[in-house]
């Protein structure tokens, strides 16, 4: 089974309703290659509107940007996996570096979030990645694989088939810096080898691993051309329809 090519856009806390729906509408009318799947990480308040708009659009899906680890309860302002399931949201992003950094989400919390998301039949885009300090110390490989061990090692092979991994070098998010295609390939191969050792060949060979560090129209083709890079989790460039379309068409 070949791996899916994925162009995922994380809108973060950007765009109002009209702007967001216009962007989704523009993307829905794009010519998307048959072997590429587009996933839009949309703010909670627009999720249902976007899902309704894109319901019959092939190869365009929607992701929530986070979910809580509890089923329900007194967690004002939070959104549960069951709520996402109730509106037929197919994907959720878990473990983004900004959630780890600004909201103190550690590996234990992220493992609980992954479990809850899978319990409600959501596919998980699980983020991992190292800081510049860790990269300069040459400890990036062990650091990233440890993140995966702490949050995913308890899962079964079957559960892992509902996981997509997004490698985001923290030093390259929103900084204009980007890992070279060779650096991206090196880490993606390290992740795939870890998956092979932990879950076997089938999981490793089928797992989509996305690159998530300042992907732009200008560099997407060279990054996506690497053997173990299956696409990107795109930040700012996904808010620009023209640039995102170029990224979508950047697969070799």
Q: Got the DSSP string for 18-62? A: HHHHHHHHHHHTS---TTEEEEEE--HHHHHHHHHHHTT-TTEEE
SS3 55: coil
Which of 168, 188, 194, 208 is catalytic? The answer is 168
> Known catalytic residue: 194?
no
> Residue 229: what are its φ and ψ, rounded to 5°?
-100, 115
The CA R_g of the chain, rounded to the nearest whole Å, is: 17
Which of 68, 96, 188, 194 is catalytic? The answer is 96
The angle at the Cα of 166, spanning 101 to 44, to the nearest 5 degrees, equals 65
> Known catalytic residue: 168?
yes
CA distance readout (Å), 234 to 1, 71, 147 = 25, 29, 21
CA 223/CA 185 separation, integer angstroms: 8
CA 187/CA 210 separation, integer angstroms: 11
SS (H, E, C) 135-150: HHCCCHHHHHHHHHHH
Structure-token match 């976007």, residue found: 50
Task: Please give the positions annotated as active site.
Answer: 96, 168
């Amino acid at each position: 089974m070949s791996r899916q090519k994925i162009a995922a856009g994380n809108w973060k806390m950007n765009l109002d309703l009209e702007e967001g729906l216009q962007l989704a509408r523009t993307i829905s009318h794009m010519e998307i290659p048959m072997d590429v799947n587009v996933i839009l990480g949309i703010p909670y308040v627009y999720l249902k509107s976007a899902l309704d708009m894109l319901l019959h659009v092939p190869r365009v899906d929607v992701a929530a940007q986070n979910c809580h680890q509890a089923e329900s309860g007194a967690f004002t302002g939070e959104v549960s996996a069951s709520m996402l399931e109730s509106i037929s949201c197919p994907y959720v992003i878990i473990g983004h570096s900004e959630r780890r950094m600004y909201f103190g989400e550690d590996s234990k919390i992220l493992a609980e979030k992954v479990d809850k998301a899978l319990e409600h039949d959501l596919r998980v885009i699980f983020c991992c990645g190292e800081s510049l300090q860790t990269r300069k110390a040459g400890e990036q490989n062990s650091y990233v694989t440890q993140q995966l061990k702490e949050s995913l090692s308890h899962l079964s092979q079957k559960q892992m088939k509902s996981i997509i991994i997004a490698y985001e070098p923290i030093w390259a998010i929103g900084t204009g810096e980007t890992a070279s295609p060779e650096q991206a390939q090196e880490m993606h191969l390290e992740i795939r080898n870890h998956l092979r050792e932990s879950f076997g060949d089938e999981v490793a060979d089928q797992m989509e691993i996305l690159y998530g560090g300042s992907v732009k129209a200008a560099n997407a083709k060279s990054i996506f051309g690497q053997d173990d890079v299956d696409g990107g989790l795109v930040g700012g460039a996904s808010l620009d329809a023209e640039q995102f379309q170029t990224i979508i068409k950047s697969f070799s």
